[in-house]
Structure 1
Amino acid sequence: MKITLDLLRILDAIDRQGSFSAAAVALHRVPSALSHAVAKLESELAVQLFIRSGRKATLSAAGQTLLEDGRHLLRAAAELERRVQRIATGWEAELRIVVDAIIPVERIYPLLERFYAAGHGTQIRLTYEVLGGTWDALATDRADLVIGAPGDMPARSGLASRLLCPDTKFVFAVAAGHPLATWPGTIPSSELARHRAVVIADTSQELDARSIGIIEGQDALRVPDIRAKASAQVAGLGIGHLPHWLAAPELAAGRLIEKQIASPRPAMPLHLAWRSRQIGRALAWFLEELAKKAEIEALTGGL
């Protein structure tokens, strides 16, 4: 192979330092070794890579093209070395964290900030899932850690969980201009069934999808996330339950009206869940932090 990583490092050093002699000092090598390596490469490629003027060396157009793309390879090789080193020390190359849509993602940011500040180097991939989709992400190896998995854990091996929040507070709300806004007293299920519900689609891919807040035969508008659900209800497109933290500002502004219904939404516990077969140091770090009372309160307070 004519072009090697070592040759790319030599070209990079010469370009940055401006001369063969300065690059040799930076690379702890003798100038003649660099001159020989570059001359050999120029001969094999049949191109001139540097324009020499006295002690100064400037890349030719061909040399600039080679080094521009070559630097991508140098960066990729350096990152690969770091990943291998991290894996050897027990730190995962990547940790995939799923957050259930009921938890505001910005509540995770202080935790991530502390993790990054510690300089562990593990890459974090943060995504949302809905309802059974959180458990499904673990079961199908799309996630390593789930924050806020709702309901019961499915019967799958290799998964572990612990309670994060015993209950979440939901508000049944309708738009101020919705026909149900003026309904006197408790609204029976038979009346709710006559009106469209706004629901978030379960994101399960293999496990059975879960549905909450829909009465049999009721029309439904399915939206992609919890904030879209809230805005759809404010727009009067349908009715449904919203987490208290999201409904409160709309209720205070008068854009939503809280109503009592005959069959309130049952309690929904939230869990911390993870893949337990191979726990790397990054996953262990998050599990330890998320066992702290203050951290749990910061995540689930007001839910």
Structure 2
Amino acid sequence: MHHAITLDALRVLDAIERKGSFGAAAEALFKVPSALSYTVQKLESDLGISLFDRTKQRAQLTAAGRLLLEQGRQLLQAANAIEEAVQQLESGWETQLRIAKDTVLPLAPLLQQINAFNLLDKRVAITISEEVLGGTWDALIAERCDLALGASGDLPKGIFEYRLMGEVEFVFAVAKEHPLCLHKGPVDAAAISAFPTIIIADSSVSSPGRSSGLLESRQIIRVANASAKIQAHIMGTGVGFLPKHLIQSEIANGELVVLDCSVPRPNIPLYLAWRKGSSGKALGWFVDACLKSNWFNSY
């Protein structure tokens, strides 16, 4: 199927409009003016319209010519983007990278790494998703992400590369006016059971969900992420363990109070993981950068 409008013709129109004359446009495009005149006249003939008002001394687009150029510039930008994407992919840089971050990790270190990555001026679309518990592994297994941050629990064997990021320390924290603040001595399971427990729901889609840090209580309240759990603790909605690194400011300003607790809650190791055989340069860059980040400072 023949189209009258070509990318070459659009480049000619764009140059003429920007430079103000056929001669200046021809010089910018390294062509002779007659070649540009022929391209414009053929386009006008094929479309049956006038693109330039030839009564003016300066090359001035008609309304139809203006519309064609405005729409055409979008096509030129798209064509340039396609060319850059193909060239970039050929050089080993992916066109997209999907990162699944477990909710127990703060977002700020990842955004800092993205800021640094952007300085490389690579056209890589980055998607960040938030997962919980087994959902982080699930996202990698189901190929919903290319890089998993903060994966915990049993490590899948043989199909992933993984590196230890560090360990999460949990503390038992409640609202500053919560009744448990009046408890004498370390809080035990019996004292905790009188109050609702806030837990974060596992985000697994294709794998069985799992639970972490469950406590016997009169009621369980499930929330979607760490931010919601922290807010629920602050408002006195319930109790439970929280990642210490995520609540430093709330502890410092008195919104949350850390209590001694006799119920064991061991530290949990977190891993960075990706599929074996993945060799994209963007993935490699983020693996190195994220391993150097301090994820357990307060943000």
On whether the aligned pair clears a TM of 0.5, the verdict is: yes
Describe the shift of the 1:178–1:59 C-alpha distance in structure 2 as closer, same or farther (beyond 3 A): same
Q: Kindly provide the amino acid, as one letter, of the partner of residue 118 in structure 2.
A: Y
CA distance in 2 between counterparts of 1:75 and 1:28 reads 21
Contact 1:214 1:220 in 2 (8 A): no
Aligned to 1:209: 209
Which sections of structure 2, spanning at least 5 residues, go unmatched? none
Note the aligned Cα RMSD (angstroms).
2.2
Aligned to 2:295: 299
C-alpha displacement of 1:287: 2.6
Describe the shift of the 1:63–1:158 C-alpha distance in structure 2 as closer, same or farther (beyond 3 A): farther
Which runs of structure 2 are paired with 1:172-191 in the superposition (5 Å)? 172-191=172-191
Aligned to 2:160: 159
Aligned to 2:242: 242
Describe the shift of the 1:121–1:103 C-alpha distance in structure 2 as closer, same or farther (beyond 3 A): same
Aligned to 2:80: 78
Describe the shift of the 1:191–1:71 C-alpha distance in structure 2 as closer, same or farther (beyond 3 A): same
**Residue 281 in 1 paired to residue 277 in 2?**
no
Q: What do the CA deviations read for 1:30-81 (whole angstroms, capped 9, x no partner)? A: 2122212122222222222221245521122112222212111111111111
**Residue 44 in 1 paired to residue 46 in 2?**
yes
CA distance in 1 between counterparts of 2:176 and 2:268 reads 27
Aligned to 1:199: 199
Q: Is the partner of 2:116 in helix, strand or coil?
A: helix
CA distance in 2 between counterparts of 1:252 and 1:117 reads 35
CA distance in 2 between counterparts of 1:103 and 1:182 reads 31
Describe the shift of the 1:76–1:13 C-alpha distance in structure 2 as closer, same or farther (beyond 3 A): same
Equivalent pairs counted in the alignment come to 297
Describe the shift of the 1:252–1:289 C-alpha distance in structure 2 as closer, same or farther (beyond 3 A): closer
C-alpha displacement of 1:181: 2.3
Decide which of 139, 142, 149 is 1:140's aligned counterpart: 142
C-alpha displacement of 1:20: 1.6
C-alpha displacement of 1:182: 1.5
C-alpha displacement of 1:302: 6.4
CA distance in 2 between counterparts of 1:112 and 1:90 reads 18
C-alpha displacement of 1:154: 3.0
Describe the shift of the 1:26–1:45 C-alpha distance in structure 2 as closer, same or farther (beyond 3 A): same
Which runs of structure 2 are paired with 1:83-122 in the superposition (5 Å)? 83-122=85-124
Aligned to 1:267: 267
Q: Is the partner of 2:172 in helix, strand or coil?
A: strand
Q: Kindly provide the amino acid, as one letter, of the partner of residue 295 in structure 2.
A: L
CA distance in 2 between counterparts of 1:212 and 1:241 reads 10
Which sections of structure 1, spanning at least 5 residues, go unmatched? none
Contact 1:234 1:256 in 2 (8 A): yes
Q: Kindly provide the amino acid, as one letter, of the partner of residue 251 in structure 2.
A: L
* Identity between Structure 1 and Structure 2 (%): 43
